[in-house]
C-alpha cells in the first residue's frame, strides 16, 4: 500500500492495517469488513460476522473491521464504493468477495470452500495433521481384524479431537464389531443431523443398523417361501436372519432376489437394506464393489 504523500494519521492507519490485516493474512484467512457507524445494514451484518469468525477461529479465520470514515485511505485503496463490503484476504491478497453472503449458512459454506483450497494454518489444521495418521493406524488395525485394539486407539484419538466425525464414526464401528451395540447407539444417537450426514458417521449408523438385525428362527418363513417364491416378506425376514448370523453373502442373495422380482416392493425396502449392508462394509471394499455390480446388473439391464 502506497505511503508517499500521506499525513501522520494516514500513515498510522496504514501501519495498523499492515499489522492487523496483512501480517495475519500470511497464515490466516482474514474476513475484512468495511463498515461505518451510520450504516444500518452494516450493523445488521456485523453480529453474524462476529459469530462466524468466533466459530472459525480455531480454523485460522480472523475478522478485521475497517471504518470507512476513519480509514479513508485504506477504503480508497480497496476502491470501496458502498458498504457493507466484505472481502476474504489470504497472504495479503483478496481471494473472495463475501459481500453477498448475508446468512450464517451461506458464509460458512464459502469459508469451508476457501479453507479446503488454501494452506491456512490454525489450531484445527494443526490438530488434523496430528490426528490423520492416527486414524489411518486405527483403520488398518480394524481392517486386520483386531477390533478391540482399534477401539482403544479410536478412544484415545477422540480424547484429542472429540468432535471429529471421522473419529466418532470409526469408534462406533469398532464398538459394533466388538458387540457393544448399546454403547455404539449411545454414541451415535445424540449427534446433530449435520454430523449424522457425514460419510464416516453415516457408515457407522449403517453398520449399527445392520448389526441390529434380529436373529430369529425363520423356518416358518422358509416354508412359506418354498410354497410361494414371491413371498417377499418371508424372503426379507430370511435375509435379516442371515445377516444377523453373519452370513452377508446369503443375505445379499436374498435381497437381490427380491429386487429382481419386484424392485419397488415395500417402498424399495430390499434395496435400502442392501445398500446399508454395502455402506456398513465400506463402499470401496472389494466385496461391496462386487455386490454393487450385481445390483447394477439388475437395475440397468
DSSP string of 52-67?
Answer: HHHHTGGGTEEEEEEE
Active site residue 39: yes
Q: In which residue ranges of the chain is pLDDT below 50?
A: 2
Q: What is the rounded distance in angstroms from the CA atom of residue 14 to the CA atom of residue 20?
A: 10
Q: According to the model, what pLDDT value does residue 6 have?
A: 65
Pair 174, 154: CB distance under 8 Å? yes
CA neighbor of 87 nearest in space, from 76, 77, 79, 99? 99
The C-alpha cell at 121 is 494454518
Q: What is the rounded distance in angstroms from the CA atom of residue 187 to the CA atom of residue 172?
A: 7
Q: What is the rounded distance in angstroms from the CA atom of residue 7 to the CA atom of residue 80?
A: 21
Active site residue 42: yes
Q: According to the model, what pLDDT value does residue 5 have?
A: 57
Q: According to the model, what pLDDT value does residue 214 have?
A: 77
Helix (H, G, I), strand (E, B) or coil at 8: helix
3-state helix vs strand vs coil in the chain, percent to 5 = 65, 10, 25
Q: Which residues contact 196 (CB under 8 A, 6 or more apart)?
A: 188, 202, 205
Place of cell 469398532: 174
CA neighbor of 287 nearest in space, from 298, 274, 278, 297? 278
Q: According to the model, what pLDDT value does residue 14 have?
A: 83
Instruction: List C-alpha distances in Å: 165 to 12, 30, 59, 92, 180.
Output: 45, 26, 16, 33, 19
Pair 205, 238: CB distance under 8 Å? no
Pair 275, 209: CB distance under 8 Å? no
The C-alpha cell at 113 is 470452500
Q: Which H or E element spans position 212? A: none
Place of cell 440397468: 300
Please pick, among 29, 42, 86, 168, the residue that the annotation labels catalytic.
42
User: How many other CB atoms sit within 10 Å of the CB of residue 119?
Assistant: 10
Please pick, among 21, 39, 83, 278, the residue that the annotation labels catalytic.
39
Amino acid at each position: 500500500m502506497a505511503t508517499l504523500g500521506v499525513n501522520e494519521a494516514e500513515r498510522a492507519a496504514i501501519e495498523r492495517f499492515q499489522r492487523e490485516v496483512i501480517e495475519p493474512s500470511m497464515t490466516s484467512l482474514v474476513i475484512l469488513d468495511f463498515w461505518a457507524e451510520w450504516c444500518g445494514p452494516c450493523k445488521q451484518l456485523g453480529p453474524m460476522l462476529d459469530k462466524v469468525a468466533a466459530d472459525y477461529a480455531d480454523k485460522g479465520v480472523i475478522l478485521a473491521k475497517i471504518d470507512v470514515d476513519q480509514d479513508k485511505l485504506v477504503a480508497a485503496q480497496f476502491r470501496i464504493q458502498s458498504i457493507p463490503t466484505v472481502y476474504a484476504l489470504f497472504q495479503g491478497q483478496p481471494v473472495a468477495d463475501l459481500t453477498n453472503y448475508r446468512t450464517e449458512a451461506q458464509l460458512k459454506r464459502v469459508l469451508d470452500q476457501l479453507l479446503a483450497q488454501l494452506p491456512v494454518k490454525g489450531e484445527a489444521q494443526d490438530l488434523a495433521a496430528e490426528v490423520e495418521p492416527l486414524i489411518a493406524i486405527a483403520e488398518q488395525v480394524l481392517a486386520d481384524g483386531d477390533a478391540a485394539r482399534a477401539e482403544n486407539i479410536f478412544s484415545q484419538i477422540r480424547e484429542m479431537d472429540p468432535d471429529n466425525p471421522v473419529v466418532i464414526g470409526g469408534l462406533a464401528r469398532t464398538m459394533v464389531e466388538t458387540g457393544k451395540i448399546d454403547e455404539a447407539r449411545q454414541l451415535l444417537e445424540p449427534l446433530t443431523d449435520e454430523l449424522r450426514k457425514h460419510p464416516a458417521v453415516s457408515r457407522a449408523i449403517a453398520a449399527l443398523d445392520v448389526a441390529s438385525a434380529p436373529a430369529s428362527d425363520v423356518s416358518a418363513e422358509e416354508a412359506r417361501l418354498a410354497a410361494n417364491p414371491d413371498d417377499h416378506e418371508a424372503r426379507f425376514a430370511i435375509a435379516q436372519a442371515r445377516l444377523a448370523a453373519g452370513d452377508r453373502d446369503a443375505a445379499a442373495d436374498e435381497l437381490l432376489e427380491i429386487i429382481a422380482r419386484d424392485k419397488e416392493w415395500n417402498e424399495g425396502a430390499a434395496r435400502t437394506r442392501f445398500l446399508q449392508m454395502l455402506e456398513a462394509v465400506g463402499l470401496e471394499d472389494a466385496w461391496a464393489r462386487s455386490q454393487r455390480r450385481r445390483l447394477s446388473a439388475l437395475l440397468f439391464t
